[in-house]
Amino acid sequence: MNKTGFLILIHLLMASFAFAQRDPGYDRVVVLQTRIDARDLGYSPVDLIPDGESGITSLSVAPNGDVFGATSGTRSHLFVLNPVHGYVVPIGVIPGATSVTHAVVISEEGDVFIGTAPSGHLLKYTPDRVDRQSIEIEKLLPVADLGTPVAGEHIDALAIDRRANRIYGLTSPNAHLFSYSILTNKFDDLGVIAKSAPWGEKYEHAKMISRMLVVDDNGDVFTSGEDGYLFEFAAKTQTVQKLSVRAPAVPGREPYARVDAFLLDKSGMIYGGTSDGYLFRLNPEKHTVENLGKPLNQYRIAGLASGPDGKLYGVGGDESEMARMFSYDPRNGSYDLLGFIDVNRRPYFAWQAYVIGDIVSDDRGTIYLGEDERISKLYLFFP
């Protein structure tokens, strides 16, 4: 046995009985501790979004830099983080919602639009002096109910074209793509992107649609739908077309593939992550897809965000797995594997996120990762 092998063996033997107790060696497999921090969802220990209601499933950055988030659970809450202050302020309980998934968008004017499930309503919240906002755990969020885009459907995802003052959304279970004009308060059902569920077990009925939407610089909207194909809503022609390209998947698994995450890069390219865990680059004008490979041997890309260093940052891992963070450098096509999302601030606290619900980054270069578990925190990563 060589020296390295011997050291590994010793480490394993030492660690084997220290189950469920943190060993300093564990720091090697988590994100560098000087780059990551966590925030409770409120003011600990009492004025927090309650456990069971705190899974962060939507994050969005307002034009003024405030970070808004929505949770899922037995109730959904809206919260805000002003980066100047750095703490999370729960604003209120979102009416009629137990789930808000990638469905918070913010207009140029700063209005916050929320797509709810299961009620399927589009809500508008207008922030008022967020800087002096008090914590509201029990009060209903004051919203304007803009109605339901498709009767009987949940809203699964939203995206916004701020220049056009138009919101786009996806619904479930029947996979409608819709739009909402902020100026005219009018919904349009743009069509269905998945008519039937893929061949599966008898208990499987879900139609495969992407978990996010993206709007490119031309105002065109992209999503994935049936059989893993990408769909485009062209702003000029106001039509939905099924593209000839698919979300990357292992051959044979295309019908089960969906896009988990989209990110419009400053270059104008769209990056995406798939349910099979592949990263890809979509040229929105040429309609070509480059498969950039798998950063991790895990399913899912739970989110993507732009870093200040030109890299993309993302998280992989399915709901039953343990999420890991990675970065991708478009300049040389290389990945860095950053480790588990864990914040170790002994003796005050230590917490590891296993499931990430959404990721965004702000203009200051901070990447925000929302944990989606019964007990959840907001993580700040500083590339």
Pairing of β 186-192 and β 214-215: unpaired
Q: Rounded to 5 degrees, what are φ and ψ at 16? A: -60, -35
Q: Does 51 bind other proteins (CB under 8 A)?
A: yes
Residue type, 343: V
Stretch that binds other proteins, among 161-169, 280-288, 320-328, 358-366 (CB under 8 A): 320-328
State yes or no: cis peptide before 347, omega within 30 of 0: yes
Q: Does 374 bind other proteins (CB under 8 A)?
A: yes
The answer to whether the beta carbons of residues 94 and 141 sit under 8 Å apart is yes
The secondary structure of residue 30, as a DSSP letter, is B
Q: Rounded to 5 degrees, what are φ and ψ at 6? A: -65, -45
Those residues whose C-beta lies under 8 Å from the C-beta of residue 364, and which sit 6 or more positions away, are 65, 83, 308
Stretch that binds other proteins, among 76-84, 136-144, 221-229, 350-358 (CB under 8 A): 350-358
Return the residue of 6, 7, 10, 12 that touches other proteins, per CB under 8 A.
12
- In whole angstroms, the minimum distance from the beta carbon of 346 to other proteins comes to 6
- First vs last Cα of the chain: how many Å apart? 38
Return the residue of 6, 7, 10, 14 that touches other proteins, per CB under 8 A.
14
- In whole angstroms, the minimum distance from the beta carbon of 93 to other proteins comes to 18
Stretch that binds other proteins, among 19-27, 151-159, 251-259, 306-314 (CB under 8 A): 19-27
Q: Does 43 bind other proteins (CB under 8 A)?
A: no
- In whole angstroms, the minimum distance from the beta carbon of 350 to other proteins comes to 6
Residue number, 19 or 203, with CB nearest to other proteins? 19
Stretch that binds other proteins, among 35-43, 242-250, 256-264, 368-376 (CB under 8 A): 368-376
Q: Does 340 bind other proteins (CB under 8 A)?
A: yes
Cα 300 off chain centre by:
11
- In whole angstroms, the minimum distance from the beta carbon of 342 to other proteins comes to 9
**Could you write out the DSSP letters of every residue in 111-144?**
-EEEE-EES--EEEE----GGGPPP-SSSBP--E
Closest CA to 159 of 122, 109, 116, 214: 214
Q: Does 375 bind other proteins (CB under 8 A)?
A: yes
Residue type, 175: A
Q: Does 332 bind other proteins (CB under 8 A)?
A: no
Element (H, E) at 106: strand 104-106
The answer to whether the beta carbons of residues 93 and 76 sit under 8 Å apart is yes
Q: Does 234 bind other proteins (CB under 8 A)?
A: no
Pairing of β 117-118 and β 144-145: unpaired
Cross-strand partners of 84: none
Return the residue of 13, 84, 151, 183 that touches other proteins, per CB under 8 A.
13
Q: Does 18 bind other proteins (CB under 8 A)?
A: yes
Count residues binding other proteins (CB under 8 A): 38
- In whole angstroms, the minimum distance from the beta carbon of 204 to other proteins comes to 17
Q: Does 32 bind other proteins (CB under 8 A)?
A: no
Q: Does 318 bind other proteins (CB under 8 A)?
A: yes
Three-state secondary-structure class, residue 256 = helix
Residues that bind other proteins (CB under 8 A): 12-26, 28-29, 45, 50-52, 297-298, 318, 320-322, 340, 346-347, 349-352, 354, 373-375
